Amino acid sequence: MADGPAAEEHLSEDECWERLRHAPVGRIGLWVEDHPEVFPVTFVVDRGTIVFRTAPGRKLDAVLSGAPVAFEADALDASTSVVWSVMVRGRAEQVTRSLDLMETADLPLRPWHAGDKALAVRIVPTELTGRRFPIADPDWWRRLGADAARPDLD
């Protein structure tokens, strides 16, 4: 672990997609009615987009609203104590064209939650960013907290 905050390394677009291809789960941020909500989803990368399955309900209603979405996935490499995080901003749309539906049927999408998740949603990115950084040593945070807790007696 790093002693304190280390400089983050920005990931290239190719590095972002590579990490997304290996992430088991991500989170989609959607505007639902009058507030934001975040939903965990299993997903796959497909031709420069993110695809996940869902059922009718709040998540799909939010997708169909046309509001912009955010999608994020991250992971920790325990052997190196390095974290990566990738953020996708864009728009989400239900897959409805026959050819697209047939192609998504063959994707290795395995939702964790049981139920009828026959509807496919595709996130089309407008922005893709990622970063990688070592985890700060917990002692560094304790020292920082102790310094902040000291009263200024001057």
Q: Which amino acid, residue 33?
A: E
User: Average of pLDDT values for 34-46?
Assistant: 95
Give the domain 9-146 fold.
Pnp Oxidase; Chain A (2.30.110)
Task: Render pLDDT for 71-97 as a digit per residue (tens, 0 to 9).
Answer: 999 999 889 989 999 999 999 999 988
Cβ atoms of residues 125 and 89 within 8 Å: yes
Residue 56 CA neighbour count, 13 Å, CB half: 0
Nearest residue to 39 via CA among 18, 57, 66: 57
Cβ atoms of residues 66 and 60 within 8 Å: no
Q: Which of 32-36, 50-54, 102-106 has the lowest mean pLDDT?
A: 102-106
The model's pTM: 0.82
CA pair distance 135, 141, nearest whole angstrom: 11
Task: Render pLDDT for 88-144 as a digit per residue (tens, 0 to 9).
Answer: 999 999 998 877 777 777 777 777 777 778 899 999 999 999 999 998 777 766 666
Question: Residue ranges of the domains in the chain?
Answer: 9-146
